């Protein structure tokens, strides 16, 4: 952890490293002497692109080193690099403001728009930029390295993902595989005591600093700043409209899962109530896929979770990544470059290093260095995650030659959707048969229901979770919820929108949100909600291009150059155009819509309705569900009256 005594050292390094950058200001000042001159503006942007690739590469490299080797020294180096990056970004911003872009072409104006959105660099106080980065790094360090020990056996300790070299087991494995209610409750609570409670004071400070950053960029709070990325007037209204569209199938899925879990856990599950958060397959109840074995509709059908077959065939992490790369190549897309294979971290290091295992894809901004960081296990879920992360890499590769300001998703949900859409093909029985993980190509009604139920646990099941999480942060950033009611609001939203409750009593001494990677890592979460909807729009667009006939859920775009061309057309746009243009390129539509996801899961919805009716299931949940509609209306009206500022 960086101490206050290191601040002067950091600043000294900063000024030394910035020396060459400060020389650039003279060049740029000359270039902006005629601030309406288009050629001067182009020269400025060309200069920025060349210098930015150098500065942002160094920042990404320092961050990579820290994330793959968590030490105090590496954290210090990451902070130094981030301060250089922030100073450079601010210098560019100051020079960009000397131009009047009013009469420039749209693409030039759009580049200036993104250059002037400078995030934490907008803070006047350099020490606060340093503190902001330090707070996030500290929370991520706590998240990745905190240990939980069994009270009856103090020598048996766990981190979230485990560490074989240090003989530490993984709490994630317990949450994914244990069916012992008390053990799941212990792991769930222990992780939150170790991580959430410890991170709470850091998260309080993070919220203060994040809001200062938002205000410095012209927004009332960080929630509003994040939402502005969508370039639309009412993204909150859009999000809740989508929630209402998927709610009927979510309620049916929730009721079915509740009955099947009650068969196993007995009185721990209330037949008309919310689901305990500890029995949903992961530490947060975000993805329910790990409980598939407990809820599979037709257990006598061949197992479409091919984890055991992967182990039997001797799969390795390298083989899984090679298969994913080949999937993209089969569609005529760009294979991963040599630098990717040379520098990625695809398994947990065996040399004793502490690392952040959460899978992430990295763009080093120099047009050739792209990497993935992941502690791969031989598991079907990890095979799908690899295809997701490789989807990000494909996006990077397709837009790498654009100006640096345009290297990004059309909006931040697009990047996630591109990653996820590939899994809709890879997880089909048809594709699993094609790559030798199923003995036969199964296309019958019962297998379809098994497949749709399995995928719905990670798609339909996660949608309300994502919305509730982001609504909580919007409330916190906006000051709508005082610190002494954070937990009350968190679980109110979870119960009312998600139908999930804590397995043990929670108090305001706790801070469950601060035990989640995306919250302490400062990732906006609306992207994951929207991506889960629009990935099905992308899927339908590519399946149509591939000439697929039959049910949408049976489409596999493997080996379809036509589908690859359709995807590439959109990816190559980066964020050079507003996202409706990118949406139109791949789907022919200009709006986010739940039509495709509803078409995909239509057979499952009918089956769930019939099955739940036959079993006399209560649809919905008693705990707060009756007021969910009024909660939605209240949320929307609050934001429309107070935060309509995009």
Terminal C-alpha separation, the chain: 37
- Each residue's pLDDT tens digit, 307-330: 999 999 999 999 999 999 999 999
- Each residue's pLDDT tens digit, 173-225: 999 999 999 999 999 999 999 999 999 999 999 999 999 999 999 999 999 99
Q: 164 falls in which pLDDT band (50, 70, 90)?
A: low
**Position 457 pLDDT exceeds 90:** yes
Pairing of strands 500-501, 275-276: parallel
- Each residue's pLDDT tens digit, 411-454: 999 999 998 999 999 999 999 999 999 988 777 899 999 999 99
Residue bearing the bigger pLDDT, 379 or 35: 379
List the structure tokens of 366.
């120099």
* Mean pLDDT (whole number) for 365-384: 95
What rounded mean pLDDT belongs to the chain? Answer: 90
Q: What is the pLDDT of residue 167?
A: 54
List the structure tokens of 553.
């859920």
Q: Which residues contact 545 (CB under 8 A, 6 or more apart)?
A: 560, 562, 563, 565, 566
Q: Model pTM?
A: 0.86
DSSP states of 300-324 as a string?
A: TSPPS-THHHHHHTT--HHHHHHHH
Distance CA 421, CA 418 (A): 5
Nearest to 79 by CA among 131, 125, 121: 131
389 labelled catalytic = yes
List the structure tokens of 609.
């309705």
- Active-site residue (options: 251, 389, 420, 617): 389
Q: Where are the domains of the chain?
A: 4-116
Contact criterion met (CB below 8 Å) for 92 and 52: yes
* Mean pLDDT (whole number) for 272-292: 96
- Each residue's pLDDT tens digit, 530-545: 999 999 999 999 999 9
User: H/E/C letters for each residue in 474-537?
Assistant: HHHHCCCCCHHHHHHHHHHHHHHHHCEECCCCCCCCCCHHHHCHHHHCCCCCHHHHHHHHHHHH
Distance CA 123, CA 251 (A): 45
- Active-site residue (options: 387, 388, 518, 548): 518
Question: SS3 helix, strand, coil % of the chain, rounded to 5?
Answer: 65, 5, 30
Strand partners, 148: 158
* Mean pLDDT (whole number) for 75-104: 92
DSSP-derived 3-state class of residue 159: strand
Place of tokens 């990732």: 523
Q: Give me the sheet containing 169-170, strands edge to edge.
A: 148-150, 153-159, 169-170
Q: Which long-range contacts does 5-8 make (Cβ < 8 Å, 24+ apart)?
A: 6/76, 7/127, 7/130
**Position 302 pLDDT exceeds 90:** no
Place of tokens 């990670």: 458
518 labelled catalytic = yes
């Amino acid at each position: 952890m960086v101490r206050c005594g290191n601040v002067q050292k950091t600043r000294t390094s900063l000024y030394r490293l910035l020396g060459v950058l400060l020389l650039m200001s003279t060049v740029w000042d000359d270039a902006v002497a005629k601030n309406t001159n288009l050629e001067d503006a182009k020269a400025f942007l060309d200069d920025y692109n060349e210098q930015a690739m150098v500065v942002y590469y160094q920042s990404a490299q320092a961050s990579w080193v820290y994330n793959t080797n968590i030490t105090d020294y590496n954290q210090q180096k990451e902070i130094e690099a981030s301060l250089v990056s922030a100073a450079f970004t601010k210098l560019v911003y100051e020079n960009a403001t000397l131009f009047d872009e009013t009469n420039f072409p749209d693409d030039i104006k759009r580049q200036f728009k993104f250059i002037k959105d400078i995030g934490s660099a907008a803070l006047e106080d350099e020490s606060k930029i340093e503190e902001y980065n330090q707070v996030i790094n500290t929370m991520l360090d706590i998240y990745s390295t905190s240990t939980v020990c069994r009270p009856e056996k103090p020598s048996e300790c766990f981190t979230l993902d485990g560490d074989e070299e240090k003989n530490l087991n993984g709490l994630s494995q317990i949450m994914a595989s244990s069916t012992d209610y008390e053990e799941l409750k212990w792991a769930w609570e222990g992780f939150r005591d170790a991580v959430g409670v410890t991170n709470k004071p850091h998260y309080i400070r993070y919220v203060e600093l994040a809001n200062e950053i938002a205000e410095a960029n012209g927004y009332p709070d960080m929630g509003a700043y994040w939402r502005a990325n969508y370039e639309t007037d009412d993204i909150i209204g859009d999000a809740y409209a989508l929630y209402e569209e998927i709610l009927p199938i979510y309620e049916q899925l929730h009721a079915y899962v509740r009955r099947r879990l009650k068969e196993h856990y007995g009185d721990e599950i209330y037949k008309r109530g919310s689901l305990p958060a500890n029995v949903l397959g992961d530490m947060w109840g975000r993805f329910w896929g790990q409980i598939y074995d407990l809820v599979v509709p037709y257990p006598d059908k061949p197992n479409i979770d091919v984890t055991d077959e992967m182990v039997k065939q001797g799969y390795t992490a390298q083989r899984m990544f090679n298969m994913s790369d080949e999937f993209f190549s089969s569609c005529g897309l760009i294979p991963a470059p040599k630098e990717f294979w040379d520098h990625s971290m695809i398994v947990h290091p065996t040399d004793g290093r502490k690392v952040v295992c959460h899978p992430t894809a990295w763009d080093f901004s120099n047009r050739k260095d792209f990497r993935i960081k992941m502690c791969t296990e031989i598991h079907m879920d990890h095979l799908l995650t690899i295809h997701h992360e490789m989807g990000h890499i494909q996006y990077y590769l397709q837009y790498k030659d654009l100006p640096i300001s345009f290297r990004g998703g059309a909006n931040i949900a697009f990047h996630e959707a591109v990653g996820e859409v590939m899994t809709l093909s890879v997880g089909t029985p048809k594709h699993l048969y094609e790559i030798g993980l199923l003995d036969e190509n199964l296309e019958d009604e019962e297998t379809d229901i098994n497949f749709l139920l399995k995928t719905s646990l990670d798609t339909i099941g996660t949608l309300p979770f994502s919305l509730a999480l982001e609504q909580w942060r919007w409330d916190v950033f906006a000051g709508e919820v005082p610190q002494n009611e954070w937990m009350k609001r968190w679980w109110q939203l979870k119960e009312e929108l998600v139908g999930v409750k804590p397995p043990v009593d929670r108090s305001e001494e706790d801070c469950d949100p601060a035990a989640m990677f995306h919250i302490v890592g400062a990732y906006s979460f609306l992207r994951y909600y929207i991506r889960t909807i629009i990935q099905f729009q992308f899927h339908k667009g590519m399946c149509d291009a591939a000439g697929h006939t039959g049910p949408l859920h049976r489409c596999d775009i493997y080996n379809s150059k036509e589908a690859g061309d359709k995807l590439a057309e959109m990816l190559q746009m980066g964020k050079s155009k507003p996202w409706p243009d990118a949406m139109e390129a791949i789907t022919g539509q200009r709006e986010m819509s739940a039509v495709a996801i509803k078409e995909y899961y239509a057979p499952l919805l009918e089956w769930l309705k019939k099955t739940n009716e036959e079993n006399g299931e209560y649809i919905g949940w008693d705990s707060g569900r009756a007021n969910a509609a009024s909660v939605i209306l209240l949320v929307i009206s609050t934001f429309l009256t107070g935060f309509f500022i995009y």
